[in-house]
Structure 1
Amino acid sequence: MHNLTSLIVDNCGGLKYLFSSTVVGSFKNLKHLEISNCAMMEEIIAKEEGNGASEEVQFCKLEKIILKDMNNLKTIWHRQFETVKMLQVNNCNKIVVVFPSSMQKTYNKLEMLEVTNCAFVEEIFELSFKESVEHATHLKEITIDGLDKLKKKWSRDPQGILSFQNLINVQLNNCASLEYLLPFSVASRCSHLKELHIVQCENMKEIVAEEKESSVKAAPIFEFNKLSTLLLWNLFKFEGFFAKKHTLACPSLKIIDVVGCAKLNLYRTLSTSSSNIRDDKLSVSMPQPPFIVEEVIPNLEKLRIDCDSKFGEVENRLMKIHFLIGFFKMCAVLSHWLLKVVTSSRYSKVNEE
């Protein structure tokens, strides 16, 4: 077993676990582990009573774990997986929490996480206690799809426990119970995020959750300096980026793709007025634009907007927009009346020059 680098286990219906904790050390060179269709398996590593010391033995080189169609599996993560960089979990229907709080310092090297079609998952990261020092994670990509009962990706704001500042790509699809995507501290340090896709999350209200306990009264600044693609599809309760007064910086944004977001006021996304953001008289209950046109729109290469329910409220604002003048070689899918506004604005601008 010492030279084994890849282990694939499929359709072994009688297995209740794959490894005992005492044999983990025998797989020193294992890099790839894939388990699927093992109907009786409840855990990957069985803890043996009286062998607590053996828990410290790690898979020294294990980097990738794939788990598929494991309907009796109750535990995914073990301390022995601290070297793992990629975890894919699909159709494991007894999992409720992917990373329990007892494991919260053991997945710091994880770079790619994919959890799909797990019917009973309620939380991805369960966090329960503060650390003396906040630990940085290496997580870069998260894909979540088909978790109907998912209520929170993080059970609490991870500030002071873990930082997720290396996130580059976040994909969230078909999570009917999720109301918010990012805790406040995570969103405040997402400067490396490039891709953000949220699709078919019927109860999603905002991207960033409010801080429940905060002494800071100043409007927060969210700096998504590398965000190039924002895709929002079929978010029927979605109202904006953050419920309270804030400033959002996305200087690298190239693609905005908004489809079926009936409650989203368009001017929160495409308003040209930056003064409203800094107006001290603005009520926090009123919607405010998350984007400042002068900073974001000039870099757009593709703009798609297909949600007509509130266009009328912002038509007068869009009459003053000139940001689409440079769209000669770019792609824009817009409503008929908006195209007329843009054409009129462009024509007037050219005549002025």
Structure 2
Amino acid sequence: MEELKVLDLSGIQFLSLPSSLYCLKNIRTLCLDRNLLEDVAIVGKLKTLEILSFLDSDIDQLPGEIGQLTRLKLLDLSHCLNLRYIAPNVISCLSQLEELYMGNTSIQWEVEGVDNQGQRNASLGELKCLSNLTALHLHIRDAGVMPQDLFFKKLKSYKIFIGDKWKWSSKYDLSTSRTLKLKINNSICLGPGIKTLLKVSEDLSLEEMNGVRNVLYELDMNGFPHLRHLLVKDCLELLYIIKSVAWNLAFPKLESLILRNLINLEKICHGQLNAGSFSKLRIMKIEKCDRLEYLFASSVAKNLTQLQEIEVTDCKNLKEIFGEESKDHGDEIETNDKIDFNQLCSLTLQRLPQFIKIGSDMRVVFPRLENLKLCSINIENTWLDQPLAMSSYSQCLKSLTVEECNGLKFLFSYSMVKSLNQLHKLVIGNS
């Protein structure tokens, strides 16, 4: 079958590939997914290959012969859990590569600059030879082996994890094509190549970023114009997500914001923001941020009309969801202003011992709230015991949970009970 161009041998359990493979003089695509393979050197004889996939296969090394595939455009090594060894200079020889998928492998990259005689494995510096690369999946467990000058000028799609704690998921989020997860012990490791990726990332996760105190200023002064999802956790030195006065535009496309265990975070935003900032935010989850007294200033709250879910847990000093910065920055908002969160359908407040109210000097209305959960909150003198506020969302409420809330006097006035025709779950515990 010398004219064969595509061969799929996925899921076939053989230790060595048939020697007759070298007869495929016109082969373009070879799939060896989900196989148990000990020796794949013969693949190097298929000089016409353009697509080669070992997805989810049991191979422990990629031999030097693979470097002979100089026409290769796509190489998929994803989820090859036992792959630890790639012969030096194999990757750098694949100069025509456009797509390289190496997520969830166990490769021990060498430090760039080790001479070939002492080098046991490939180095990440070889990626610099792939000038045509447009798609890359890569997990670098040790940031110390990453070259500072690693640039990807044509990269359009990527999923890059840096750090030893990230878990690679086999599920792909098709809504985002540029994902970056960083766990770096020293901000010096943030070379120009990584900062270039930060500017165009759509999904960004930051963990234990020592030396970083202000995400927006220190990582991307352009305001992350493409970012849609942001997770920040365990960054003990972080003081602000944004610290700026009259910033042009910050996070204009951000849809979800998750902050966890930021014990020194003083404010999410410090200073005035452009009206378009956070205007697409739908999901906000805050956990163990003990120095926060409120999430957003009232002036910023006006931008958050797309909010669908708010969840705040274990924040010891949080007093309000929407506070006021007028004393320091002259935010313009009149007392008793009203803000309608027409899209908000879920609100969860748990273990907030200092919590007082939703908004400062403003009336907050949730006309479409469906799920409300309150746990370990002192409800006395909060908004819940004021029937006027509860009536703003009682008609859509489907689930209400109130547990361990001291000071609770009543949930609903008699007139409000008649409007609760959508309520199908009511949990009251130790209140």
Pair in the same fold by TM > 0.5: yes
After superposition, what is the alpha-carbon deviation per residue over 1:50-95, rounded to whole angstroms, capped at 9, x for unaligned?
Answer: xxxxxxxxxxx97110113x22235767355332111011233333
Structure 1 residues 230, 323: CA separation in 2 closer, same or farther (over 3 Å shift)? same
Structure 1 residues 110, 75: CA separation in 2 closer, same or farther (over 3 Å shift)? farther
Who is 2:159 aligned against?
Answer: 32
Note the residue ranges of structure 2 that are not aligned, 5 or more in a row: 1-129, 166-175
Residue 247 of structure 1 aligns to a residue whose secondary structure is strand
**CA distance in structure 2 between the partners assigned to 1:26 and 1:189 by the alignment:** 34
- Give the drift of 1:18: 3.5
**CA distance in structure 2 between the partners assigned to 1:118 and 1:182 by the alignment:** 20
Residue 153 of structure 1 aligns to a residue whose secondary structure is strand
- CA RMSD of superposed structures (Å): 3.0
**CA distance in structure 2 between the partners assigned to 1:107 and 1:157 by the alignment:** 17
Who is 1:10 aligned against?
Answer: 140
Structure 1 residues 13, 102: CA separation in 2 closer, same or farther (over 3 Å shift)? closer
Who is 1:112 aligned against?
Answer: 229
**CA distance in structure 2 between the partners assigned to 1:128 and 1:31 by the alignment:** 33
After superposition, what is the alpha-carbon deviation per residue over 1:211-244, rounded to whole angstroms, capped at 9, x for unaligned?
Answer: 4114553422111101000000000001011232
After superposition, what is the alpha-carbon deviation per residue over 1:271-307, rounded to whole angstroms, capped at 9, x for unaligned?
Answer: 32x3xxxxxxxxxxxxxxxx241x3112111101123
Residue 297 of structure 1 aligns to a residue whose secondary structure is coil
**CA distance in structure 2 between the partners assigned to 1:298 and 1:239 by the alignment:** 24
The answer as to 2:262 corresponding to 1:147 is: yes
The amino acid that maps onto 1:331 is K
Name the larger-Rg structure: 2
Structure 1 residues 64, 308: CA separation in 2 closer, same or farther (over 3 Å shift)? closer
The answer as to 2:375 corresponding to 1:296 is: no
Who is 2:365 aligned against?
Answer: 249
Q: In the alignment, is the contact (CA less than 8 A) between 2:373 and 2:401 conserved in 1?
A: yes
Equivalent of residue 192 in structure 1, options 306, 314, 317:
306
Q: What is the correspondence of 1:141-290 to structure 2 with a 5 Å cutoff?
A: 141-159=256-274, 163-212=277-326, 213-214=330-331, 216-244=333-361, 246-262=362-378, 264-265=379-380, 268-272=383-387, 274=388
Bigger Cα displacement from structure 2, 122-131 vs 317-326: 317-326
Give the length in aligned residue pairs: 285
The answer as to 2:182 corresponding to 1:67 is: yes
**CA distance in structure 2 between the partners assigned to 1:323 and 1:210 by the alignment:** 33
Give the TM-score taking structure 2 as reference length: 0.59
**CA distance in structure 2 between the partners assigned to 1:126 and 1:324 by the alignment:** 47
Residue 358 of structure 2 aligns to a residue whose secondary structure is coil
Residue 269 of structure 1 aligns to a residue whose secondary structure is helix
After superposition, what is the alpha-carbon deviation per residue over 1:291-342, rounded to whole angstroms, capped at 9, x for unaligned?
Answer: 241x31121111011234212xx34x84535427746871101258x8xxxx
The answer as to 2:426 corresponding to 1:310 is: no
- Give the drift of 1:14: 3.8
Structure 1 residues 101, 8: CA separation in 2 closer, same or farther (over 3 Å shift)? closer
Who is 1:126 aligned against?
Answer: 243
Q: In the alignment, is the contact (CA less than 8 A) between 1:305 and 1:333 conserved in 2?
A: yes
The amino acid that maps onto 1:171 is K
- Give the drift of 1:181: 0.3
Who is 1:92 aligned against?
Answer: 209
Structure with higher RCO (Cα < 8 A, 6+ apart):
1
Structure 1 residues 171, 190: CA separation in 2 closer, same or farther (over 3 Å shift)? same
The amino acid that maps onto 1:254 is E
Structure 1 residues 30, 320: CA separation in 2 closer, same or farther (over 3 Å shift)? closer
Note the residue ranges of structure 1 that are not aligned, 5 or more in a row: 39-60, 275-290, 339-353
After superposition, what is the alpha-carbon deviation per residue over 1:174-205, rounded to whole angstroms, capped at 9, x for unaligned?
Answer: 11111110122221121110000000000101
After superposition, what is the alpha-carbon deviation per residue over 1:154-190, rounded to whole angstroms, capped at 9, x for unaligned?
Answer: 1223146x52111100000111111110122221121
- Give the drift of 1:25: 4.7
Identity %: 18
The answer as to 2:417 corresponding to 1:323 is: yes
Q: What is the correspondence of 1:40-51 to structure 2 with a 5 Å cutoff?
A: none
**CA distance in structure 1 between the partners assigned to 2:426 and 2:294 by the alignment:** 28
